[in-house]
Structure 1
Amino acid sequence: MEEQSGSVPVARKNKHDIVGSLPLELVVQVIEHLDMADVVRNQRVSKRWRTIFSSDPIIKTKISLTRTLAALGMETEHAKAEAMFYFRWLYGLEFARPVKKVFLPWLQFEGKINQIVYHSRRLCYAISERDGAKVVMLNLETGRRSVWANDAGHYLQEVILSDRYLVIVSYASPHCVLLAWDIHTSQRLAERRFLWFPSSVIVDKDKAVIIPGAEWRSHPVFVWDLSTDRLQEFGSFTCPDLWHVDADENVVVMFEIDWDKRTPEVQQSKWSLSCGEQLGKKQFRLSVAGRRVDRNTLRRSFNDRYCTRGYKVTSELFYSEDYPCSAVRLTYDHAVDRLSLGWIDCNKPVRHDALPNHCDSLAPHIIYRSQYQLWGIVVYNTASDTATVHPYELDAREVKTANSLGLLPGSRETIFKYWSFGDRELFGVATDDGIQFWLFNPDFVLNLPDAEPFVAMELSR
């Protein structure tokens, strides 16, 4: 049996990165006075610079173009300016420094908001009502608001949003009901019913892939073609740990891991999306870099439920109760068909019992995670296998949240629910008061009439 090893943490001295710790404005000014050859050489000086320039495919492409033009003796200023634009953008993502923050207070609805999802400048939130639930969609570019009724079930479980489709997962005893809409035509498509709840539903192009989630019983994976309403199944899985879906290449890759082995044992299988045929299967062991993990001490992050970034790379985080300052990074690179495991070490313990229990992948190597009770935002860097906790600052209008945190006179701390979401352009945190938007793309302007500039609440934790 072959063994695949992940990145192995090495004990290092805590050296201070003087260049990388400079404020963004100074960093940009320094780089603007360098040519691309100097920029590349300076990656050896600053680990943070090296991470940014080498981890993001857009910046790597811009730098490569600039160097090629320079070698040909052609004008490079425009290409260099574009590289600096993306550097500024990604620098803000890495260090939780948005170019702008705004706050959107909730409108007065009769129901209670119980879920939020975000995809390609569209924001969906589910509202519980007496007779069921409905989903509201906001287009952040146009400000258009649309409502999608969920009359298929009594309890809304999950909302999935893609470029074209909206899928609502509900519970209507004894069934799990999936209801799909075409958001371009507002057409309601057919529904599907199951006697078990999936752990995840992934929508890629016109395929909805339904992943089983029960640990006590095996189920097949179902592929629902939303354009033809055809349903097919393949395989039998108990509780898969990672999956990769690629409609363009017509493939699904599934991973089942036996964490209770001293060196975890992986069963990897590859399937055709269109016909359910098994295309390949292999078994190997996964190095855990000398640390110990087992199923009972691992908790999943449900990293954006499903996330493929960069060169078709899918990642998932797990948290081990045995290592409170670390997270387990499981990454599959489809380009080279390789699964790797690494440890992301934080600068202090991180509580992982917050709701919702998932992360937000904002870039190929950047994952944001809201801490328990909004004590902070943890930024995981999978390129350097490090994590940093940044404070979460309340807006002056987040009064209910401040009360729940016990920060106002006469208030007591209580457990409350909040949501986080985002992509490389923005990150958002939604509470009972409204939504904080952190904008990282300098060119992205929210077109929401009710959104107001962020005003910090004058109190401390």
Structure 2
Amino acid sequence: MMYYDIVGSLPLELLVQIVGYLDLKDIVRNQRVSKRWRTIFSCEPIISPFLRETLAFLGLDEDGVSTDVAMVDAMSYFQWRHGLEHAQPVKKVFLPWRKPLFRKPEETLCHSRRLCYDVVSHNEAEIFDLATGKTSIWIDPTKTVFRRLVLSDQYLVVIFRAWTFDYHALTAWNIHTKEKFSNNVPAFGARYTIVGDKVVFAPSPQRGSLPAYVWDLAMNHVQEIGNFSNLRLCHVDAADNILVAFECKADQPSEVQQTKWSITTGDLLEKKVFALPIPTDCPVFTNLELFRNPCRTYGRKTVAQSMFWNDHAPIYLEYDYAIDQLSVRWIDNAEVISRRGQIYRCVYLTRNLVYRFLTETMEVVVYNITTGAETLQPMLSEQGEQHPLIRDTERRNFNVFGDREVFGVANEIGLELWFFNPKFTPDLIPGGFISVPEVVK
């Protein structure tokens, strides 16, 4: 009996219309039928709508990465997205630190395939390039009392506490050219983030009325901006030199004050007050607290989270600068958190996904902000109770970090990394960091 491929013989225009009724999972399944079908179902007119949706989910289309570069492999991007949504990485690896640490790092970060952490006892920051396996040590011998790190694809920023405790000393390096910058800002409880070449120091709501500061690395200039008493979200558009701030009180969070400021001059450009768009299924806003995590910016969108302190239910705020709109999502996870322990750490892997690590049970809870779905995965599914991170310590004090390619958990013993991009699974040696580090001062 002769086999006739009806699908393969159809005109491309008709195939595109038929495939319009399928989802990405069906597209991937059809790619597995044969080489001929893989070619057909991988052509740009058929898969581009699905890949653009997936790339938007990953944040790739908003971070300056061209969507056209991914139009050849729907399966890889489907696996990437599916793994992120359900905490199913393509690879896991445990790494002990390059040298013994007396305490866990104050900060552990991952950005652009670089792992960054501090060694408090030596007042130095280290960057481990996951792609090349090379390690570099960054030291400013003129400063002491390390406080925080900020990392982007271009800059490493180290915040030091001065001996007088009235200001923070700042050091930044261009990690590509090794160019060094120094400055300082007044000391106050702040959340730190970096957008482009702008480092933002946003005051915590618990600290009273305080200004924000923006360090423009291109000009090596620190600009003081406004006074904020209940800052919940702060968005910086580096291209327009605009800072957008949202304030709402903990006991009256339904009323929001939005202000726009010039980063260059510190001038107030716009101010308005409006009611927060609360979801219909959300309970009455009371006892609203802010997470320690800083705001996270993806292109022209910034996300932040608060929560109902008594119920442990997160409120996710998202600001879209392109359309000047603030939206709110709520996920009722009180049952999961109360049932499995209340001490946890969290990180955004995309603007749609938050990974919450439950330290009491060593589990990872994944929240899809868009759909409200949650996935619970045991951290120790592969290592059992003798996981190296808890083998020699009873103190379950961890750093949780990551981006769309990597999720990690670290303490003073070492770190475990989960890799989600099927095309980025580096062959890291379980024995740890082996390269001779480059020292940058």
Alignment TM-score > 0.5, same fold? yes
Q: State how far apart, in whole Å, the 2-side matches of 1:340 and 1:291 are.
A: 16
- Residue ranges of structure 1 left out of the alignment (5+ in a row): 1-23, 38-48, 67-77, 405-413, 453-461
Q: Per chain length, whose mean CA-contact separation is higher, i.e. which structure has more relative contact order (CA < 8 Å, sep 6+)?
A: 2
- Which residue, out of 335, 342, 345, partners 2:322? 335
Residues 271, 141 of structure 1: CA spacing in aligned structure 2 closer, same or farther, 3 A cutoff?
Answer: same
TM-superposed CA distance for 1:425, in Å, is 1.0
The root-mean-square deviation of aligned C-alpha atoms, in Å, is: 3.5
Matched, 1:146 2:132: no
Q: State how far apart, in whole Å, the 2-side matches of 1:347 and 1:28 are.
A: 36
Matched, 1:390 2:377: yes
Residues 447, 248 of structure 1: CA spacing in aligned structure 2 closer, same or farther, 3 A cutoff?
Answer: farther
Residues 139, 338 of structure 1: CA spacing in aligned structure 2 closer, same or farther, 3 A cutoff?
Answer: same
TM-superposed CA distance for 1:27, in Å, is 9.2
SS of 1:85's partner is helix
Who is 1:258 aligned against?
249
SS of 2:74's partner is helix
Checking the alignment, whether the CA contact within 8 Å between 1:180 and 1:190 is kept in structure 2 is yes
Matched, 1:323 2:314: no
SS of 1:370's partner is strand
What is the number of residues matched between the two proteins?
A: 385
Q: How does 1:264-413 map to 2 (within 5 A)?
A: 264-288=254-278, 289=280, 290-294=282-286, 297-303=287-293, 305-309=294-298, 312-324=300-312, 326-346=313-333, 348-350=335-337, 353-354=342-343, 357=345, 359-393=346-380, 395=383, 398-399=387-388, 401-402=390-391, 404=393
Checking the alignment, whether the CA contact within 8 Å between 1:302 and 1:316 is kept in structure 2 is no
TM-superposed CA distance for 1:388, in Å, is 2.5
Who is 1:430 aligned against?
410
Checking the alignment, whether the CA contact within 8 Å between 2:367 and 2:375 is kept in structure 1 is yes
TM-superposed CA distance for 1:84, in Å, is 2.7
Matched, 1:89 2:80: yes
SS of 2:418's partner is strand
Checking the alignment, whether the CA contact within 8 Å between 2:189 and 2:207 is kept in structure 1 is no
Checking the alignment, whether the CA contact within 8 Å between 2:243 and 2:263 is kept in structure 1 is yes
SS of 2:73's partner is helix
Report the more deviating stretch, 280-289 or 241-250: 280-289
TM-superposed CA distance for 1:449, in Å, is 4.0
Checking the alignment, whether the CA contact within 8 Å between 2:104 and 2:411 is kept in structure 1 is no
Checking the alignment, whether the CA contact within 8 Å between 1:152 and 1:177 is kept in structure 2 is no
Who is 1:12 aligned against?
none
Deviation track 1:22-67 (CA, whole Å, cap 9, x = no partner) reads xx99994367569879xxxxxxxxxxx9x9698456699xxxx99x
Who is 1:219 aligned against?
210
Q: What amino acid sits opposite 2:147 in the alignment?
A: Q
Percent identity over the alignment is 33
- Which residue, out of 204, 209, 220, partners 2:200? 209
Q: What amino acid sits opposite 2:304 in the alignment?
A: E
Who is 1:3 aligned against?
none
Checking the alignment, whether the CA contact within 8 Å between 1:401 and 1:432 is kept in structure 2 is no
Q: What amino acid sits opposite 1:225 in the alignment?
A: D
Q: State how far apart, in whole Å, the 2-side matches of 1:276 and 1:448 are.
A: 46
TM-score by length of 2: 0.77
Residues 254, 300 of structure 1: CA spacing in aligned structure 2 closer, same or farther, 3 A cutoff?
Answer: same
Checking the alignment, whether the CA contact within 8 Å between 2:251 and 2:288 is kept in structure 1 is no
SS of 2:231's partner is coil
Who is 1:117 aligned against?
109
Q: State how far apart, in whole Å, the 2-side matches of 1:126 and 1:151 are.
A: 15
TM-superposed CA distance for 1:312, in Å, is 2.1
Residues 59, 133 of structure 1: CA spacing in aligned structure 2 closer, same or farther, 3 A cutoff?
Answer: closer
Checking the alignment, whether the CA contact within 8 Å between 1:150 and 1:168 is kept in structure 2 is no
Q: State how far apart, in whole Å, the 1-side matches of 2:295 and 2:220 are.
A: 22
- Which residue, out of 240, 244, 250, partners 2:235? 244
Residues 182, 80 of structure 1: CA spacing in aligned structure 2 closer, same or farther, 3 A cutoff?
Answer: closer
Q: State how far apart, in whole Å, the 2-side matches of 1:190 and 1:214 are.
A: 27
Who is 1:180 aligned against?
172
Q: How does 1:126-137 map to 2 (within 5 A)?
A: 126-129=118-121, 133-137=123-127
Q: What amino acid sits opposite 1:82 in the alignment?
A: D
Who is 1:69 aligned against?
none
Report the more deviating stretch, 377-386 or 341-350: 341-350
TM-superposed CA distance for 1:205, in Å, is 2.2
Residues 248, 109 of structure 1: CA spacing in aligned structure 2 closer, same or farther, 3 A cutoff?
Answer: same
TM-superposed CA distance for 1:242, in Å, is 0.5
Matched, 1:421 2:410: no
Checking the alignment, whether the CA contact within 8 Å between 2:76 and 2:423 is kept in structure 1 is no
- Which residue, out of 128, 148, 152, partners 1:162? 152
Checking the alignment, whether the CA contact within 8 Å between 1:105 and 1:435 is kept in structure 2 is yes
Checking the alignment, whether the CA contact within 8 Å between 2:356 and 2:365 is kept in structure 1 is yes
Checking the alignment, whether the CA contact within 8 Å between 1:142 and 1:447 is kept in structure 2 is no
Q: State how far apart, in whole Å, the 1-side matches of 2:71 and 2:148 are.
A: 43
TM-superposed CA distance for 1:178, in Å, is 2.1
Q: State how far apart, in whole Å, the 1-side matches of 2:257 and 2:373 are.
A: 28
Q: What amino acid sits opposite 2:297 in the alignment?
A: T
SS of 2:404's partner is coil
Checking the alignment, whether the CA contact within 8 Å between 1:135 and 1:150 is kept in structure 2 is no
TM-superposed CA distance for 1:170, in Å, is 2.1
Q: State how far apart, in whole Å, the 2-side matches of 1:145 and 1:94 are.
A: 31
Checking the alignment, whether the CA contact within 8 Å between 1:220 and 1:236 is kept in structure 2 is yes
Q: State how far apart, in whole Å, the 2-side matches of 1:119 and 1:391 are.
A: 25
TM-superposed CA distance for 1:338, in Å, is 1.0
Q: State how far apart, in whole Å, the 1-side matches of 2:56 and 2:152 are.
A: 29
Deviation track 1:384-435 (CA, whole Å, cap 9, x = no partner) reads 023222211164773451454xxxxxxxxx4421111111111111133322
- Residue ranges of structure 2 left out of the alignment (5+ in a row): 1-23, 43-50, 433-441
